[in-house]
Amino acid sequence: MQIRNLRNTATLVLMLVLAVPILTACGGAPAAPAATQTAKPTTAAAAPTVAPKPSAAPAATAPAATAPVATAPAATAPAATAILGPAQSGVLRIRMPGGSGAEPDNVDPQQASFVSEIAFIMMGYQGLMTFDKNMKPIPGAAESVKVSTDGLTYTFKIRPDSKYSDGTPLTAKNFEYAWHRLANPETAGQYQGLACGIIKGYSEWSVAACQGKTMTETLALDLKKLEADYGVKAIDDRTLQIELTAPAPYFLSMAALWIGAPVREQDAAKGSDWWYTPENYIGNGPFVLKEWDHGSKAVWEVNPNYVGPLGPIKLKRVEYYMITESQVAFQAYQNDELDMLNVAAEDLSAVQSDPVLSKQIVNAVGTCTFYFGFNNTKPPFNDIKVRQAFAQAFDREAWVRDIFNGLGNPTQSFIPPGFPGYQPDLKLWSFDPAAAKASIAASTYGSVDKLPEIKLTYSASVRNNARFEWVANQLKMNLGISAVLDPIDPTAYSALTKDKTTSPQMYYLGWCADYPDPQNWISLFQTTGQLADRIGFSNPALDKLIKQADAEQDAAKRADLYAQAQKILVEAAPVAFLQNDGGPWLIKPYVKGVAQENITPIDYWEGFFNMPNVDVQP
């Protein structure tokens, strides 16, 4: 029995395994609440930082041994209610922007593509342009911009004495590097396709993203020459010139995006995950990344070297907290640990009926339009009459009221309110069940019971289950159609919706603005556009108008062309537009400068483009 000799050794190993956590922490888990409780008044009073420095830790444990029972003072002293500390002047604490509250996965400006990533990048960097409160592109890092009369050459003058947050100079060369990095096939960023065909030489150099060439084919090209022919050049330290292939009046908006953020060569050279370490994340944006506790929080401090329209900045610090569960975030807000919070539809009625919270509501307009996409190649939606019938059979008011608790607003057209190109009077498919039935009678099917089975395919989640149960109920009541619910795993669902041959018969989709220009909306419905392609929609008249509008330099004429295009789009009803997102944020009364009149839909967090006026004064 050799095993007996091992008994002592094994016991020792087991003891060690168990001892590690004891040594590191657990020690007196049940006793600890009292310990930290007593420590609160001292730490909160002495160093009321929201992100306590290590110096606070010894203080937190010291008094515990001597005064184990001290719950009473903490309960009476209002300042001591939060260990993280209550709000303090100049510090804004928010949930990580971008919907899910999750940590961004990649914040390299030339590779990023998701909302949360962009909200992160634009704290640390500023593009050549930025936006004002009315979503007009205005000079950002650039002091001025000149557009040649043919609309092909853009000359940006960088602000004098521009510096990065660490004090090193920022020149036109830095922007040249960033815009070259965007196009460089080596970068292989997800938004690389956005500028294809717009900047001169872009499509030729970025052959993989723009022309679908393989990496091997790309490497066989004379990349040096292609880079030399690329239309982005620094003329001198303060002048950057960008040449386009064709006039593109929306290019100034594009120059305000994260894709042209001036990443420094020496930072990017530190490896593919250079952006992971705050020391490398040096930019020219309004804030500097001081601390990034991945998966937990990111702490931004104001950039003393910032120049641009977002300054002078009153805030001293902004803190992003990665809270993925919205119920937890809601509790944190109520517990005074967050200063602003977007309200989930599910929480709205609790907020509205609460005497305190209801006074902290600020209504915001969203950047997205949601709609039912019909697969125009599959029966019965290859029949325009059926599509129009479904567009009319849907009670948008009730949808917004019942499912979103009034969050957002019903719409019948594509471009949302507040955005250039919005047409408030474009209402062709108001709720009218009788007209809808008549429309079906006029279709090739003749009557509702001759329609094939309608399957509502959607991305499965608790929230969507409730929504689509509601939708199915509507179809039943308004048209007498018994639809089948078909939830699918979200990623598998995304894969299905990419191509018209696999995309479902009828499904719920949305589009959110990249930049405020009708081109960013309407062009997606030309035959080759991303949204038209996945539902198999094609309308030659629409294609022609869009092509004309995209290159039109006269602003009024251009707006009119887009308006005509949108009208054709709504009439053809390839999709049924339903509602825009948006709705309330909760904002503590001590947060200044964030109110209904000075927030814009494209704010990275509410009030971002009103930065000079935003402050926290508890």
Partner 1 sequence: MATSAPTAGAAAPELSAQQPRSLWADAMHRLLRNRAAVAGVCVVLIYILIALFAPLLAPKNPVEQTARNSLRPPVWVTDNPNRMPNPANLLGTDSNGRDILSRLIFGTRVSLIVGVVPQLIILGLGVTVGLVSGFNGGWIDNLLMRITEIVAAFPDLLFIITLTVAFRDTLFGKALGGLLLIFTALAAVSWTGMARLVRGQVLSLKEKEFVEAARALGIPTGQILARHILPNTMAPIIVSVSFSIPGLIISEAILTFLGVGMRPSVDLANPLPTSLGQMMQEGFSNLSSGPWMLLFPVAMISSLVLAFTFVGDGLRDALDPRDREG
Partner 2 sequence: MTAYIIRRILWQIPVLLTVGLMTFGIAKITPGSPFDTDPNHRQLAPAVEKIMRQKFGMDLPFWHQFTRYMFFDLVGNPKTGAQEFQWGAIGGNFGPTYTSRGSRTVQQELFGDRSGKPSRFYYSARLGLQALLFAVIFGIPMGVLAALKQNSWIDYSILFVSTLFASLSNLIVGFLLVIIFAVSLNWFTVIPDWSDAIQPWILPTLALGAVQLGFITRLTRSSVLEVKRQDYIRTAQSKGLATQVVIWRHMLKNALLPVVTILGPAAAGLITGTLYIEIIFQVPGMGSLLIEAIGKRDYSMITAGALIFVFFLGVANLIVDIAYGVIDPRISYK
Binding site for partner 1 (CB under 8 A): 327, 330, 346-353, 398, 402-403, 405, 459-463, 465-466, 468-470, 472-473, 476, 482-483, 485-490, 492
Nearer to partner 1 (CB atom), residue 52 or residue 487: 487
**Shortest distance (Å) from residue 541 CB to partner 2:** 25
Residue 400 DSSP one-character state:
I
Strands 317-321 and 91-95: parallel
When CB distances are held under 5 to 8 angstroms depending on the partner's kind, the choice from partner 2, partner 1, none that residue 209 binds is partner 2
**Shortest distance (Å) from residue 274 CB to partner 2:** 8
Residue among 372, 617, 395 at smallest CA distance from 497:
372
Three-state SS across 302-350?
A: ECCCCCCCCCCCCCCEEEEECCCCHHHHHHHHHCCCCCEEECCHHHHHH
Nearer to partner 2 (CB atom), residue 102 or residue 384: 102
Residue 102 DSSP one-character state:
P
Phi, psi dihedral angles at 303 (to 5 degrees): -85, 115
Nearer to partner 1 (CB atom), residue 449 or residue 597: 449
Nearer to partner 2 (CB atom), residue 207 or residue 483: 207
Q: How far is CA 138 from the centre of its chain?
A: 21
Nearer to partner 2 (CB atom), residue 72 or residue 556: 72
Nearer to partner 1 (CB atom), residue 225 or residue 463: 463
When CB distances are held under 5 to 8 angstroms depending on the partner's kind, the choice from partner 2, partner 1, none that residue 438 binds is none
81 binds partner 2 (CB under 8 A): yes
Helix axes of 433-441 and 384-392: crossing angle, nearest 10 degrees: 170
Say which residue the tokens 């007996």 belong to. Answer: 4
Strand partners, 188: none
Within residues 103-122, the interface with partner 2 by CB under 8 A covers 105-106, 108, 111, 113-115
498 binds partner 2 (CB under 8 A): yes
Strand partners, 236: 239
327 binds partner 2 (CB under 8 A): yes
When CB distances are held under 5 to 8 angstroms depending on the partner's kind, the choice from partner 2, partner 1, none that residue 29 binds is partner 2
CA distances from 596 to 50, 357, 365, 561 (A): 27, 16, 9, 31
322 binds partner 2 (CB under 8 A): yes
Nearer to partner 2 (CB atom), residue 387 or residue 534: 534
Question: What dihedral angle (degrees, nearest 10) is formed by the CA atoms of 137, 141, 146, 147?
Answer: -50
Pick the stretch among 384-392, 445-453, 490-498, 586-594 that binds partner 2 (CB under 8 A): 490-498
Which of 434, 490, 557, 617 touches partner 2 (CB under 8 A)?
490
69 binds partner 2 (CB under 8 A): no
59 binds partner 2 (CB under 8 A): no
CA triplet 96, 98, 99: central angle to 5 degrees? 100
**Shortest distance (Å) from residue 525 CB to partner 2:** 14
Contacts of residues 250-253 at CB distance under 8 Å and 24 or more positions apart, as own/partner, are: 250/515, 250/517, 250/519, 250/520, 250/550, 251/154, 251/198, 252/129, 252/137, 252/145, 252/147, 252/154, 253/129, 253/131, 253/137, 253/515, 253/516, 253/517, 253/520
When CB distances are held under 5 to 8 angstroms depending on the partner's kind, the choice from partner 1, partner 2, none that residue 83 binds is partner 2
Nearer to partner 1 (CB atom), residue 404 or residue 609: 404
Within residues 198-227, the interface with partner 2 by CB under 8 A covers 208-212, 214-216, 219
191 binds partner 2 (CB under 8 A): yes
177 binds partner 2 (CB under 8 A): no
92 binds partner 2 (CB under 8 A): no
Pick the stretch among 140-148, 160-168, 319-327, 417-425 that binds partner 2 (CB under 8 A): 319-327
Distance CA 314, CA 613 (A): 7
Distance CA 301, CA 307 (A): 15
